[in-house]
Structure 1
Amino acid sequence: MWLEILLASALGLVIYWFFSGDKEDTLPLGDGWWGPGARPTAPEDESIRPFKVETSDEELNDLYRRIEKVRLTPPLENSRFHYGFNSSYLKKVLSYWRDEFDWRKQVAVLNKYPHFKTKIEGLDIHFIHVKPPQLPAGRTAKPLLMVHGWPGCFFEFYNIIPLLTDPKSHGLSDEHVFEVICPSIPGYGYSEASSKKGLNSVATARIFYKLMLRLGFQEFYAQGGDWGSLICTNIAQLVPSHVKGLHLNMAFVVRNFHTLTLFLGPRFRKLFGYTERDMELMSPLKEKMFYSLIRESGYMHIQCTKPDTVGCALNDSPVGLAAYILEKFSTWTNSDFRDLEDGGLERKFSLDNLLTIIMIYWTTGTITTSQRFYKENMGHSFLSDRHQRMKVHVPTGFAAFPCELMHVPEKWVKVKYPKLVSYSYMARGGHFAAFEEPELLAQDICKFVGQVERQ
């Protein structure tokens, strides 16, 4: 009898664990202070200040000295990118970085969009805010918050912004025209890092919501991948009435009953709601859903536990920083790029654009503070966080890029996001969707917004 009681209790707990987030609930908005010391008694300065990216001869000369003193270990024969970043190819990157890459020119590129900073919860939050150059008569622009992840930054959105703010000039339909707001996560790039423990995705979501209110937007669309996906999801959980629609190209759906059907999926595909395309993207299961994740997640274990230790090395060596970050732009764009001598980096990106991202991390000294975001979100009780148990009750669109780290079938997404109105199997692309395939992502965002506004 006791065995039956124990088994029934265990089954009940499992069912509760998976389905306890069914009711429409919201996260408490709360408040925070992440600046140094105690929170001042005076009201926070809510002014929005223009900001420009700048550089100097001193900054560049220091970089060049460090590159010139690099010590590299020769790669194993025929190792390609299977052991990490291949140092033979790294020599080519470093030669280009030292002798051909023009950081001053890229600073001018960064400044082509308007940059701003504003204090929120004790931190200087950086963002770009791009309005349409012109609007069709009688139309207003739709506010769109776009949030990056790691190891990316706001620069990932530079090629998609004109497709959203000025679609007609780029051969796209102007049925939907956006004004785009791209903030930097605190501790990334030009946003100030927290002085205190605990600044996680929910706190960041609240900060970005306050930013949108400060800009005058009571309602807005939100889009993100990687950490941006989680932050935008949290905004929808905090203030669902303010989010007109949520578009994602990555989803955190770990608390999901359907993941238990993985191994039965190939045999009972229709029973469990999987499509043929789902099976293609998840097969072979052991490789795609387990081995590849183990192979690609070593960085995560470090950053979830001791981010400051590896951060000391990366913040001191531009070469180490470049290898650490660029390796992700190789394997996360397409896992097959591990088989190439150059990691396939220049098949999808230019060295100028890749090195611009590296330079944003290097010149701001923010690699360590960016890595702490893993510790704050996943370094303790990741699956027990309240937002992980909650569903999202705003209209949602999802773009499933075929080379993403893990494919998430529509059935899985719909458990977490029951108001899923758009799910697209994208023709190509990987983890850095806006950076790699801006036109495909822009088209899917517009398709989703159209479906929301026709409801």
Structure 2
Amino acid sequence: MSTNALINPFRVEVPQAELDDLKQRLARTRWPERETVKDWSQGVPLASAQALVKYWSEQYDWRRCEAALNRYEQWTTEIDGVSIHFLHVRSKHENAQPMLLTHGWPGAVLEFMSVIEPMTDPTAHGGTAEDAFHLVIPALPGFGFSGKPTEHGWSVQKIAQAWTELMARLGYTQYVAQGGDWGAAVTTALGAMQPAGLRSIHVNFPLVMPQDPGTDLSPAEVGMLTSMQEYVEWDSGYSHQQSTKPQTLGYGLADSPVGQAMWIFEKFHRWTDNDGDPLSALSYDQMLDIITLYWLTNSAASSGRLYWESYKAGFFAVPLALPVGCSIFPKELYRAPRSFAERCMSQIVYWGEVDKGGHFAALEQPALFVNEVRNWARCVPD
């Protein structure tokens, strides 16, 4: 329970009428013709799209997801005029380390559902009491059940400041922070700010791209730059749209659940460690929990605005002087080389490279993710 009057309890209770409306819209879907190729190179194939929507319409159960969220204490607090929704899951271990977990796009607090119990109750999941965390898992402004900013200015730096205020309101005087994707950008911004009490950060998407990589590059450095070039040429259309005209995009995605679904489903294919089929990495339920959350909260435009606020500068390296941990998953958008990291991180206390997983590390490989976080936390200086 919270004793701070600025923090209010929250419970997910989506009206049945909204779920009925979703099914009605799915039934009225107007489909395009099939692609002219035999792979995903033009986007989500028609057959894959129709199979996902069939499951969504006939078998998917949002109430299961809702109940899973409601197992945990959830709260909201208003910071700078925006309501921030967050899970606060305290460990039974008295000396547990408080940790901020921040998601990205097209992610949600739901990415962390399978790691909450191992992190808060490690003795029941292969760890020791020293591995325990008190978890604070906020939804980014404009995402999920957090409020939507009504004025511009909510950059990753402003979000990092809001997270500092959130931890203060919860009474945490010392804590660590972790993130991937936009969560890595926010966590890196926190690390650059070094607010009082922040002991260390960990990222599974290290932001190490130098403004000037130079010319005498190692194979690993060339590999990262090659991956980034491929991303820019073949995979970045969504980011150009969201960083330039998120409002225009929002009209279509707010009106069409299938449009919203495919906007995200494509990324589950492109960014997970799969064999060509996203279902080899994630289940329909895992993907549709996140897709349905975006639909029910009508957050296509509001989440896309984070790109408009911060994309152009948000993913380059910034100097970090506090202890940092990094974990490299093989099917990330790029494999960050330690040599680039050492240019901007003066205290790398942990560097891990695992053999499975992609961009959605906690969702795809929860056990490996938990192990990486534990390994980093054990290296953080007292």
Give the TM-score band, short-chain normalised: over 0.9
One of 128, 133, 140 as aligned partner of 2:87: 128
Give distance in 1, aligned partners of 2:317 and 2:231. Answer: 26
The one-letter amino acid paired with 1:282 is G
Say whether 1:445 aligns with 2:373: yes
| 1:260 counterpart residue number | 214
Of residues 355, 359, 365, the one that matches 1:427 is 355
Residues 209 and 317, structure 2, Cα contact 8 Å, conserved in 1 = no
Q: Does 1:356 align with 2:255?
A: no
Deviation at 1:217, TM superposition (A): 0.7
What is the CA deviation profile of residues 113-157 of structure 1, one whole-angstrom value per residue up to 9, with x for unaligned ones?
11100111111110000112x32xxx5110000000001011101
Number of the residue aligned with 2:201: 246
Residue 282 in structure 1 maps to residue 241 in structure 2:
no
> Structure 1, residues 1-27: CA drift from partner, whole Å, max 9, x if none?
xxxxxxxxxxxxxxxxxxxxxxxxxxx
Cα RMSD for the two superposed structures: 2.0
Equivalent-residue separation in structure 1 for 2:129 and 2:264 (angstroms): 36
Q: Give the one of 21, 26, 41 matched to 1:82.
A: 41
Instruction: State the Cα deviation string for residues 245-289 of structure 1 (Å, max 9, x = none).
Output: 1000112223354x3247x424xxxxxxxxxxx37x928x74x34
Please say if residues 246 and 301 of structure 2, whose CA atoms lie closer than 8 Å, have aligned partners that are also in contact.
yes
Q: CA deviation at 1:390?
A: 4.4
- Give the conservation status (yes or no) of the 8 Å contact 1:46–1:118: no
Distance (whole Å) between structure 1 residues aligned to residue 304 and residue 214 of structure 2: 31
Aligned to 1:162: 117
In the superposition, the TM-score normalised over structure 2's length comes to 0.94
Aligned equivalents of 2:231, 2:108: Cα separation in 1: 25
Q: What residue ranges of structure 1 are gaps of 5+ in the alignment?
A: 1-44, 267-277
Corresponding letter in the other structure for 1:67: L
1:366-419 CA distances to partner (integer Å, 9 max, x unpaired)? 11000000000135xx38xxx967411110000011110011101111222111
8 A Cα contact 2:142 2:148, kept in partner:
yes
1:410 maps onto 2:338 in alignment = yes
Q: How many residues align?
A: 379
Tell me how far apart the structure 1 counterparts of residues 198 and 189 of structure 2 sit (CA, whole Å): 11
Q: Distance in 1 between matches of 2:339 and 2:263?
A: 34
Residue ranges of structure 2 left out of the alignment (5+ in a row)? none
Match of 1:331 among 256, 263, 270: 270
Which residue number in structure 2 is paired with residue 298 of structure 1?
Answer: 237
User: How far apart, in 1, do the equivalents of 2:114 and 2:318 lie?
Assistant: 33
Aligned amino acid, residue 150 of structure 2 = S
Secondary structure, in 3 states, of the residue corresponding to 1:118?
A: strand
1:236 is aligned, of 191, 207, 210, to 191
The one-letter code of the counterpart of 1:50 is: P
Match of 1:369 among 289, 302, 315: 302
For the 8 Å contact 2:73–2:89, the answer to whether it is kept is yes
More strand by share: 2
Paired residue for 1:223, among 167, 174, 178? 178
SS, match of residue 152 in structure 1: coil
CA distance in 1: counterparts of 2:364 and 2:215, whole angstroms? 32
Structure 1 distance, partners of 2:32, 2:46, is: 7
> Is the CA contact 2:176–2:201 (under 8 Å) kept in the aligned structure 1?
yes
Contact 1:130/1:179 (<8 A) preserved: yes
Distance in 2 between residues matched to 1:377 and 1:289, nearest whole Å: 18
Deviation at 1:78, TM superposition (A): 4.3
CA pair 411-241 structure 1, distance change in 2 beyond 3 A: farther
Could you tell me how far apart the structure 1 residues matched to 2:208 and 2:25 are?
42
Q: Point out the structure with max Rg over C-alpha.
A: 1
Task: Provide the rounded CA distance (Å) in 2 between the counterparts of 1:218 and 1:146.
Answer: 16
Is the CA contact 1:240–1:393 (under 8 Å) kept in the aligned structure 2?
Answer: no
Contact 1:400 1:424 in 2 (8 A): yes
